[in-house]
Chain A
Amino acid sequence: MPDLGPHAIYILAAYAVTFVALGVLAFMIVEDDRKQRRTLAELEARGIRRRSAGKMKRTKRS
């Protein structure tokens, strides 16, 4: 890291805020995506599935 001069704290703070904010955003989105996939899988495991999904399988088999 080069010498960032007298205002180093502002520069580092700007980068820190940027990457913390993006990190939190990415974490929340990925976590939400995982949660939805898990719930959907659970529902399907309990035999609750979408009619259109069932239809697709049937047409494939026939």
Chain B
Amino acid sequence: MIGLANPTRFLALVERLVPWLAGTTIIMLAVGLYLALFVAPPDYQQGETVRIMFVHVPAAWLAMGGYALIAIASLGTLIWRHPLADVAAKAAAPIGATFTFIALVTGSLWGKPMWGTYWVWDARLTSVLVLFLLYLGLIALWQAIEEPGRAGRAAAILALVGAVNLPIIKFSVDWWNTLHQPASVLRAGGPTIDPSLLTPLFVMAIAFALLFATLHLIAMRAEILRRRVRALQQTHVAHAALAEAEA
């Protein structure tokens, strides 16, 4: 971690890692898709629609994992003042938001044949929707503040406030849902998953996680370079103005 605090060394590491990560991601995605669409047997209760689970559940995992990553990176920004922490947090936000979006849309598409409607205010769906809103807030705050240092610290504070609130939000939404439970939410298919479905699920989960890591590293590199460009342009403008003033 200490070695990685040097952005130049980090960029060299990214350069070496990304081709390998990207290659493994593509292989795992291909294997996962094949297992999910062709090999996995239909569920005895949900039939073929259970195949949606292979993209839905890993996306939901990464939606939460992405926020956890941002929260930890935020601690890194505010407490340890690690120079790459806010870069990591900023780069993770759009990726996490995309996985959250995927979890919501695939959940909704799974809901139509299972529940008869695209959206139910099921406790889990509602919590994921709130998570999506938190991601949007983070991204908006980053875009609203010009100076990267200030933006990073403000977003870190917001991310930690959100992390403290998420369990409370989850609890209140569960409580609210049991208060007025609509009949349609009674889900078919119990909590147990057949082992024949577990292998494709885990392969897809690993593939998505690898994709997250690959994109995250590339996005971090882009962010580091963006800051260098910004710093160069500023000093250049300052020098030019100085030269003009002297002349």
Contacts and interface: CB of A to CB of B under 8 A. Distances in A.
A and B touch in the complex (CB under 8 A): yes
B38 A10 contact: no
Contacts, number: 101
Interface stretch (B109-117, B156-164, B165-173): B109-117
Contacts of B177: none
Query: A18, A32, A56: which has the most chain B beta carbons within 10 Å?
Result: A18
The binding surface of chain A is classed by DSSP as helix
B229 A8 contact: no
Interface residues of B, number: 39
Interface string A15-32: 101100110011011101
Contacts of A21: 98, 101-102, 105
Given A18-B55, A21-B98, A43-B229, A11 B49 contact: yes
Interface of B: 8, 33, 37-38, 42, 47-49, 51-52, 55-56, 59, 94-95, 98, 101-102, 105-106, 109-110, 112-113, 211, 215, 218-219, 221-222, 225-226, 228-229, 231-233, 235-236
Interface of A: 1-8, 10-11, 13-15, 17-18, 21-22, 25-26, 28-30, 32-33, 35-37, 39-40, 43, 48-50, 56
